[in-house]
Amino acid sequence: MMFGSTQSESGNTKWRRQLDKFVKANQLELAALSWALWLENSDTQGTIGIDLQPKPHFVYCSKESVEKLNERVENRLQELLGIIEHYQPEVEVVMIGIGSGEVKLIQFAPEPAPPNCFEQIGKNVDTLLELLEQRMSEQIEA
């Protein structure tokens, strides 16, 4: 990583930076969505993914699909699998960003905790998905 570089931003760096900014600006809503999906599906839900192609949208990443991807990339996602395995939905948010043939871990502990975010936001899963996908399309260039 090059700090303070005047070189133009590569596509790989750009999507990661845009995703980071989106997550930071929408932490409460993402935490509410994460908790709402957990309530609906418990641990069978897999992990929420944010796929940036062809346009930013949410996807379902089953544990099995992440394990298969890990095998195809010579176990380079082992740490990601460990984080997913030990995920604590009542205190943190774990998602996978997918873009430009790469994956990026999204993990944060919001204040307040995800259950309180969900209660404060007061929207159902479908409304949260629609709201966040709209914001993604405005804030992230695919």
Note the pLDDT tens digit of each residue in 86-140.
989 999 999 999 987 899 999 999 999 999 999 999 999 999 999 999 999 999 8
Q: Is 50 helix (H, G, I), strand (E, B) or coil?
A: strand
Instruction: Locate the DSSP E strands across 1-142.
Output: 47-51, 57-61, 93-99, 102-108
- Could you tell me which residues come within 8 angstroms of residue 127 by beta carbon, excluding any fewer than 6 positions away? none
pLDDT average, residue stretch 58-70: 90
pLDDT at residue 40, rounded to an integer: 86
Q: Please give the model's pTM, rounded to 2 decimal places.
A: 0.87
pLDDT average, residue stretch 54-72: 90
Specify if 106 maps to a domain.
yes
d(CA 38, CA 113): 13
Q: Is 60 helix (H, G, I), strand (E, B) or coil?
A: strand
Q: Which domain holds residue 70?
A: 11-139
d(CA 15, CA 141): 7
Specify if 76 maps to a domain.
yes
Specify if 4 maps to a domain.
no
The total number of structural domains in the chain stands at 1
